A and B are shown apart, each in its own frame.
Chain A
């Protein structure tokens, strides 16, 4: 396996080696170029052979297996991989920015900035999870940002692709990961739960907002295992002005039991970007750790001793979609709105982890003036709409935390709903069909535009029409209609 080392000027499979960027424990990173490829490139070459960590090989095998299967803005673009038998390497897009690591000297960061960083990372994680990959090593040095703002996750050497064999399965006596960030279940050898990444993000958010690591830095197994039963000091105990909403989010990410965290990274992102509507629980109130007796009880909880055999088949998590419903609050949409509410109730009934975002668009004229925001009675239109949305949703009887209300101010309702859905990783949009055909002809149909352009499922809801008998003879197809293929 010993290969002659690379040097600047060498050419490997057409890639010209330029300069050494970084030498890590398991791999070297080179800047490379290739005629015909006009993005900056990075070549990752594992350090194998004597003295090398045996994990380096397996972790490189994993990365070589996973990277070609990933796409999107939240991962570096994969370019090429070298044959193991000849010269193992991975060539990928070289990102311009720095990782989050240099920012550690600035901690703690302002709360709003921590929430924004968390929102970006949660979105990136959701995109990764959607592609069946669990990162399992989320930490500041593995997170970069594009110039356009999106978080990019790097280093998939410890990751798990739930549709591919887990090469790490029997490889290590000790769980692999980064000690301060590792989820409790990872310490027990569980490598198939996407919510492990949420825990690591929780550690990062805690650290970035308080300047203190919630579980210290020790890499000794006995010290690491403490997180299974010892809860971290609530951030509010460290900083008096710590916002309860942020503590609610951070401590929920840090729940020992994965089922008590957010059902998906998208839902976590949703909470971070809508924190004014977060349902605060006892978590947000906490000012000290649990009592000694409580911790002791957890310490000797027999559940912690149970064996977690590595599962060969990933058990799918319950679906936890974000469903957006666009409610028209004008007077003539009563029957459509009832149908919408029924459709929402049906969708939510089978999905206990789903959440509903109720949307209404407050139309702005092209030239908006300040005083149009206030109506004649001096009530804020925005508030009125929120109240009306809550009234619409009340019969659904959803518990707080499963439902939020949003009044979007925009000139074009369809575009506003589409952009909301994109930003919040909405999985399904429920929208009413326009009743009056005259209005549709004049204004264009909102539902048609949404159905045509959305990146997710769209359900156009229409109240049952009165049967006027006009269709009883059946609809005849014109002769020149092409048959359905």
Chain B
């Protein structure tokens, strides 16, 4: 079974729809949405509605820190991001707000754990960027594979039964086998706000039968997404960085 994993959409309608279309063409049979549907981008209502539609169709979704901030303002968010959350709150209807408020911090299937940030304390939104951070997350769970997002930087970590770690930056469109002898932390890139220097939208496809993960990049209408941000009078910077993927 092919599972499309999408994280950090951040209200980028153009990027989200391009990734969903791409995943459909590649035969995705199931969708897992790893949080942060809103924030930064200018199409939160459409994005959340799309997520609700997918969940109604069987997709799994977990809560991200930007989603959580809609219901309960976060103290640790920087000013500009918080201003977009403020604006987003007004854009969303009661139904969308309820959907976000009810999202679980984690979800699981046999052998797989889904969480927005590190798994050791999901509500603290800790980034998984380094080997040490990945080790902390991996040691907190028994799942064979933990999928997360939050950093906007694709990465794969593994740990052996003897606690030896490996770190790797995945190469686009090269399937990586996630062997059963070790446990893995797969960090997704961002659909709507890539920050690894590549402006194309980032998501991944997991082949549950072969146990292989393939990271993918999808070009999308950046101009459209940036225009929408400018039109909504959100901070310019969130539009500009889309062009550079930074």
Contact = CB atoms under 8 A, between A and B. Distances in A.
Interface of A: 54, 57-58, 61, 64-65, 83-85, 163-167, 169-171, 312-313
A84 B181 contact: yes
Nearest to A88: B181
7 contacts: A61-B179, A84-B180, A163-B174, A164-B177, A165-B156, A312-B155, A312-B168
A165 B166 contact: yes
Contacts of A83: 180
B169 interface: yes
B179 A84 contact: yes
Contacts of B182: 61, 167
Interface string B138-156: 0000000000000000011
A165 B160 contact: no
B171 interface: yes
Given A65-B179, A165-B156, A312-B168, 6 more contacts: A61-B179, A163-B174, A164-B174, A165-B158, A170-B131, A170-B166
B176 A164 contact: yes
Interface string B173-215: 0101101111000000000000000000000000000000000
Contacts of B131: 170
B130 to A, nearest CB: 11
Nearest to A167: B166
Contacts of B126: none
B113 interface: no
Contacts of A313: 169
B103 interface: no
B222 to A, nearest CB: 24
A164 B168 CA distance: 8
A53 to B, nearest CB: 13
A57 B181 contact: yes
A40 B169 CA distance: 38
B164 A170 contact: yes
A83 B181 CA distance: 10
Contact of A171 (B164, B171, B176, B181): B164
A169 B157 CA distance: 11
User: Nearest 7 A-B pairs (CB), nearest first?
Assistant: A165-B168, A169-B166, A163-B171, A163-B174, A313-B169, A312-B169, A170-B164
Contacts of B166: 165-167, 169-170
Most B CB within 10 A of own CB, among A58, A165, A313: A165
Contacts of B174: 163-164
B162 interface: yes
Determine the interface band of chain B, counting residues with CB < 8 A from chain A: 20 to 34
Contacts of A84: 179-181
A167 B158 contact: yes
Contact of A166 (B155, B168, B171, B179): B168
B58 to A, nearest CB: 28
Nearest to A313: B169
Contacts of B162: 54
B215 to A, nearest CB: 11
A64 B181 CA distance: 12
Contacts of B164: 170-171
A265 to B, nearest CB: 22
Contacts of B160: 58, 171
A172 B120 CA distance: 27
Contact of B179 (A54, A64, A170, A171): A64
User: What's the dominant secondary structure at chain A's contact region?
Assistant: loop
A61 B179 CA distance: 8
A165 B159 CA distance: 12
A58 B181 CA distance: 9
A56 B24 CA distance: 41
B165 interface: yes
Contacts of A64: 179
Given A54-B162, A58-B160, A165-B156, A65 B168 contact: no
Contacts of A163: 171, 174
B135 to A, nearest CB: 10
Nearest to B168: A165
A365 B98 CA distance: 86
A57 B160 CA distance: 10
A312 B134 CA distance: 14
Most A CB within 10 A of own CB, among B174, B180, B181: B181
Given A54-B162, A163-B174, A169 B167 contact: yes
A61 B162 CA distance: 15
Nearest to B162: A54
Given A163-B171, A163-B174, A170 B180 contact: no
Contacts of A171: 160, 164
A83 to B, nearest CB: 7
A283 to B, nearest CB: 37
Contact of B181 (A61, A166, A170, A312): A61
Nearest to A168: B166
Contacts of A58: 160
B218 to A, nearest CB: 20
A65 B167 CA distance: 16
A170 B167 CA distance: 9
B201 to A, nearest CB: 20
B158 A312 contact: no
Contacts of A167: 158, 166, 182
A346 B196 CA distance: 33
Contacts of B169: 312-313
A306 to B, nearest CB: 21
A103 to B, nearest CB: 36
A65 B171 contact: no
A308 to B, nearest CB: 15
Contacts of B158: 165, 167
A399 B101 CA distance: 69
Contacts of A54: 162
B167 A312 contact: yes
A317 to B, nearest CB: 16
B209 to A, nearest CB: 12
A49 to B, nearest CB: 13
Contacts of B177: 65, 164
Contacts of B176: 164-165
Contacts of B167: 165, 169, 312
A128 to B, nearest CB: 17
Contacts of B181: 57, 61, 84
Contacts of A85: 180
A378 B12 CA distance: 78
A397 B170 CA distance: 42
Nearest to B157: A165
A165 B169 CA distance: 8
Nearest to A172: B164
